[in-house]
């Protein structure tokens, strides 16, 4: 989930590294947090070109509050339906996490109805966790629905993807972990998201997964991320783009991998941080089969071309962007 940007945050970059992803050519990436519903087909093509083979789209706040239960149903349904199909057309395997986000937990009347709706979605194929849930303002209502969803995750045996607040981040992060432990959740089932230098140590020490969002201006920059990777190593650490309707970058994962490589981090460590750790964490749902994206097949392709991977990398026709002719 993003926040509103203030212009003060938008410091111009002093030194621009030329964008060159050649050094990570052939590497595969998994972006475990990206809101594709808010992105374009150009993004999908660029992501596939940069080596992203699979992603997780957490259910989130759409930028303005929903006013009725049907909007939630249609949104969840699009995460397992249309968006999944759209992604498959570019050769990217699409998973999602389903949950009631913290902001909208504050509309209690609606939140009650959403809680009734969730069981209809969390058992569906490719739903790899409950998420993104947690705290925003840290209100009593947020606390209530966070706890209810922890119980739901426990019952369904699903991992939990936790959004940590922008404001009062350190305490909000600690509180999220305390409550999870209180509910008897195993820390290895919990991915704490949007970490920074201030929160990561405690998250790792307590046995949780630590995810970092590489997001311009408001969250982590990737130079800071490289330093953290050097300091903490690759164990239980993963990065994501959390790209959404704000100024964000769906190529944050491959770009950061390239920067890590430039700064001398080993290929094995890069692979753990940008690919395998996310799979290990979310595959605890029983809903991720790595074979699905090692030899990518779109939904249509499995039917039509039965095992033939000639169309590797997606079947959508490309437009020639270097030409002014549109045919």
Partner 1 sequence: MFDYDAERFRVLITELTRSNVTEETWHWLSEKFLAPETSAVNSAFAMMPRKTGKLPIAINHELWVEIEKLKPGFTLEGWTIDRIGRLCLLLHLDPTDKEKYVKTIENLFLAAEVNELVALYSSLPLFAWPELWLMRCAEGVRSNIGLVLEAIMYKNPYPISYLDEKAWNQLILKAFFTGKDLNKISGIDERANAELASTLVDFAHERWAANRKINPHLWRLTSKFIDDDLLTDLKRLFGEGSLRDRQAAALTAYQSDSVLAKNLLKSYPELLKAIENKELNWSSLTPEE
Residues in contact with partner 1 by CB under 8 A are 73, 76-77, 80-82, 84-85, 119-121, 123-126, 286, 299-300, 303-304
Alpha carbon dihedral 56, 79, 242, 272, in 10-degree steps, equals 0
Contact 249, 216 (CB under 8 A): yes
User: How many Å apart are CA 97 and CA 304, to the nearest integer?
Assistant: 29
Q: Which is nearer to partner 1, 84 or 194 (CB)?
A: 84
Q: Which is nearer to partner 1, 126 or 233 (CB)?
A: 126
Provide, rounded to whole angstroms, the least separation between the CB of residue 120 and partner 1.
Answer: 5
User: How many Å apart are CA 133 and CA 58, to the nearest integer?
Assistant: 9
Q: Which is nearer to partner 1, 117 or 141 (CB)?
A: 117
Minimal CA–CA distance to 150: which of 112, 111, 180? 180
User: How many Å apart are CA 78 and CA 63, to the nearest integer?
Assistant: 16
Provide, rounded to whole angstroms, the least separation between the CB of residue 91 and partner 1.
Answer: 15
Q: Which is nearer to partner 1, 20 or 41 (CB)?
A: 41
284-307 in b/e form (b: 16+ CB < 10 A) is bbebbebeebeebbbeebeeeeee
Q: Which is nearer to partner 1, 76 or 208 (CB)?
A: 76
Q: Which is nearer to partner 1, 116 or 205 (CB)?
A: 116
Provide, rounded to whole angstroms, the least separation between the CB of residue 287 and partner 1.
Answer: 8
Query: Concatenated DSSP letters for 91-106?
Result: T-EEEEEE---TTGGG
């Amino acid at each position: 989930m993003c926040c509103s940007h203030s212009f003060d945050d938008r410091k111009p970059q002093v030194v621009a590294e030329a964008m060159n992803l050649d050094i990570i050519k052939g590497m595969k990436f998994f972006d475990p947090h990206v809101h594709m519903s808010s992105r374009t087909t150009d993004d999908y093509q660029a992501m596939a070109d940069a080596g992203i083979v699979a992603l997780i789209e957490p259910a989130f706040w759409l930028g303005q509050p929903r006013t009725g239960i049907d909007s939630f149903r249609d949104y969840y349904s699009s995460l397992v339906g249309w968006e999944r199909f759209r992604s498959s057309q570019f050769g990217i395997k699409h998973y999602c996490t389903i949950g009631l986000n913290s902001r909208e937990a504050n509309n209690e009347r609606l939140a009650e109805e959403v809680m009734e709706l969730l069981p209809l979605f969390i058992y569906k194929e490719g739903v790899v966790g409950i998420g993104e849930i947690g705290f925003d303002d840290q209100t009593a209502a947020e606390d209530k629905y966070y706890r209810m969803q922890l119980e739901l995750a426990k019952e369904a045996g699903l991992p939990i993807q936790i959004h940590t607040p922008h404001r009062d981040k350190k305490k909000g992060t600690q509180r999220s972990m305390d409550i999870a432990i209180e509910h008897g959740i195993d820390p290895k089932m919990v991915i704490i998201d949007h970490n920074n230098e201030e929160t990561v140590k405690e998250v790792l020490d307590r046995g949780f997964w630590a995810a970092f969002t590489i997001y311009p201006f408001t969250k982590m920059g990737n130079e800071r991320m490289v330093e953290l990777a050097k300091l903490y190593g690759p164990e239980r650490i993963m990065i994501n783009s959390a790209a959404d309707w704000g100024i964000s970058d769906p190529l944050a994962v491959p770009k950061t991998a390239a920067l890590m490589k430039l700064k001398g981090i080993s290929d094995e460590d890069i692979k753990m941080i940008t690919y395998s750790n996310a799979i290990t964490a979310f595959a605890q749902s029983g809903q991720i089969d790595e074979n699905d994206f090692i030899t990518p097949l779109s939904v249509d392709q499995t039917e039509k071309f039965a095992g033939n991977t000639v169309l590797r990398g997606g079947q959508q026709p490309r437009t020639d962007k270097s030409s002014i002719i549109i045919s």
